[in-house]
Amino acid sequence: MQLRVRALETILTEKGYVDPKALDFIIDAYETKIGPHIGAHIVAKAWTDPDFKHRLVADATAAVGSLGFAGRATHLIAVENTPRLHNMVVCTLCSCYPWEVLGLPPVWYKSAPYRSRAVIDPRCVLADFGVTLPADTEIRVWDSTAETRYLVVPMRPAGTEGWSEEKLAGLVTRDSMVGTGLARAPGAAP
Amino acid sequence: MNGVHDLGGMHGFGKVESEPDEPVFHAPWESRVLAMNRAMGYLGLWTIDTGRYSRETLPPHVYLGSSYYKRWELGLTNLCVQFGLIGQDELAAGHALHPAKPVQHMLTAADAPKSLSRSSFERPAIAPAKFKPGDRVRTRNINPPSHTRLPRYARGHSGVVECIRGCHVFPDAVAAGKGEDPHWLYTVVFAGRELWGEAADPSVKVSIEAWEPYLEAV
């Protein structure tokens, strides 16, 4: 693949369709700047700032935009977990994912097992991730079939009263913001 | 199209395997493929749905047997050939052999930060929305051989409009080269049992984003 891809890039560069320096910039951005730490910051802020959470749930694009991260998260929608409701996000048709706030999706999110099963048997998928929810918790699966993108706001773990936003962000995992995990409990291994 | 990309509800693919401490890319070529897709998209010759359709039309065994970035590489190469930007002879040679087709908006390093923001797919409405939150609707039983974003598992089922998301570019039209043809976009929620039958988990609800042409009143 390395050779095939290098050949394609050579042709596209020689013909003036792409600038390798622009490619370098994009790669560096996703390797070092844009990732789940952004989403974790957003969630931790929502946990500690009720006004921000209100704005986030009402219009996530505007609320996240006010925080000044690298890319504008257009058509972003934040959905909040509660003791009665657990949200999970999938893209059964391709791999739509809120890149601007979570970075590039992990392989499992783009894989056939996840895309096929999330909509028909989400509890089994959660079991694959070691998550068991009460039988009467409603599970809501959001299939990202349009350009809207979903960010799950997981529940704040118990025992974190008085924690700073920064410390709380350390408990917010990528999977908890996709809905295949829960936020880490204080003291649990990362 | 009723392709293998439309995976929702299929069986037999096994457990979801999460990789601990997964790297952003598993090989340098993956990162180049990602960035080339972004940069080539910036030229404005095709849209996100054209790109999706080029991957959906890969032969089924190729689609299922290829990694994500391999599919992106194949889809991008096909689009470049289809749009006359590169030739098969150039791919074989690994170098440009013919003059380039004139293009606008090449993504320069200076403009690259702009490419990290997603553009808006919302357009001015040309007619009032037909449905409102709370309305019961049924998804149409459509089976177009071309690109659509109505998954098979959600066709011909009753659900409830939960939210209006605005008037958005219609993928079915745009991927067929028929222009943006914007339509109202709704979040429509279905009971798991409506989609999967009485044996399904009663605590599950599934929603899709559905453009108005996918829906009819019930």
E strands, chain B, are: 136-139, 158-168, 183-191, 204-211, 215-217
Task: Point out the residue among B11, B100, B185 whose CB comes nearest to the CB of A17.
Answer: B100
What CATH number is given to the structural domain containing B190? 2.30.30.50
pLDDT at B142: 97
- Residue B122, in any domain of the structure: no
Q: Point out the domain boundary residue: B116, B150, B185.
A: B116
Tell me, yes or no, whether B106 and B141 share the same domain.
Answer: no
Q: Point out the domain boundary residue: B81, B116, B151.
A: B116
Contacts of A138 in chain B (CB under 8 A): 203-205
Give the domain range for residue B159.
Answer: 136-217
From first to last of its 190 residues, chain A has per-residue pLDDT tens of 899 999 999 999 999 999 999 999 999 999 999 999 999 999 999 999 999 999 999 999 999 999 988 788 999 999 999 999 999 999 999 999 999 999 999 999 999 999 999 999 999 999 999 999 999 999 999 999 999 999 999 999 999 999 999 999 999 999 999 999 999 999 876 6
Q: Which helix (H) or strand (E) holds B119?
A: none
pLDDT at A71: 80
Q: Active site includes A94?
A: yes
Rounded distance between C-alpha atoms, residue B140 and residue B152, angstroms: 10
Number of domains in chain B: 2
- Residue B5, in any domain of the structure: no
Looking at CATH, the fold of the domain delimited by A35-178 is given as Nitrile Hydratase; Chain A (3.90.330)
What CATH number is given to the structural domain containing B94? 1.10.472.20
**Where in chain A do CATH 3.90.330.10 domains reside?**
35-178
Mean pLDDT computed over B150-155: 98
Q: Above 0.85 for ipTM, yes or no?
A: yes
Mean pLDDT computed over B15-44: 97
pTM for this model (two decimals)? 0.97
Residue with tokens 């390798």: A20
Q: Active site includes A96?
A: yes
Q: What is the DSSP track for A86-139?
A: EEEEE-SSS----HHHH-SPPHHHHSHHHHHHTTT-HHHHHHHTT----TTSEE
What 3 state SS string does B45-91 have? CCCHHHHHHHHHCCCHHHHHHCCHHHHHHHHHHHHHHHCCCCCHHHH
- Residue B18, in any domain of the structure: no
Q: Point out the domain boundary residue: B116, B145, B161.
A: B116
Tell me, yes or no, whether B147 and B209 share the same domain.
Answer: yes
Number of C-beta neighbours around residue A141 at 10 A: 26
Tell me, yes or no, whether B158 and B86 share the same domain.
Answer: no
Q: Which helix (H) or strand (E) holds A54?
A: helix A50-58
- Residue B125, in any domain of the structure: no
B68 with A107: Cβ contact below 8 A: yes
Confidence of residue B131 (pLDDT cuts 50, 70, 90): very high
Task: Point out the residue among B103, B122, B150 whose CB comes nearest to the CB of A17.
Answer: B103
- Residue B187, in any domain of the structure: yes
